[in-house]
Amino acid sequence: MTAVVGPVGPQSYVRPPRTRPEKYENLAFTFCRMGTVGLIAWVLSPAVFVLLVSLIAIGLYARSISLGVSWTKCFLRRPTLIVGFWGVVAIADAYWLFVLGGSWPA
């Protein structure tokens, strides 16, 4: 006898709908990954990308914190640490771009 098998794959997995805080955390995690890629590629890419992505990540993580998120998939795990890290990156990047003119001091 053969068993009747229904569709198998991601469309068959039952997943509860995401809450509003989970949606913000997921979007913030996406920008965290983008910022990490930007940091790795800083030498080859414009530093403006890193500044923009870090500011967006700060805003999204701050919003998710205000909605009650206390854990995230990002490497640092705690949204408050992530906001602090990307804040330091944004300040350093803005200083490098606007004060130093985007070049290393001689």
78-106 pLDDT tens trace: 889 999 999 999 999 899 888 888 766 65
Domain count of the chain?
A: 1
Calpha distance 50→67 (Å, rounded):
26
Inform me whether the pLDDT recorded for 27 exceeds 60.
Answer: yes
In a domain, 64, yes or no: yes
Residue at 104 is within a domain: no
Q: 8 lies in a domain?
A: no
pTM: 0.62
Helix H segments across 1-106? 20-40, 47-66, 79-94
Q: Are 82 and 57 in contact (CB under 8 A)?
A: yes
Residue 69, domain extent = 20-99
Is 88 inside any structural domain? yes
In a domain? residue 94:
yes
Give pLDDT, residue 81: 93
Record the tokens describing residue 62, joined without a space.
């701050």
Assigned domain for 3 exists? no
Residue 93 belongs to some domain of the structure: yes
Half-sphere exposure of 32 (CA within 13 A, CB side): 23
Whole-angstrom distance, CA of residue 83 vs CA of residue 52: 14
Asked whether residue 71 is assigned to any structural domain, the reply reads yes
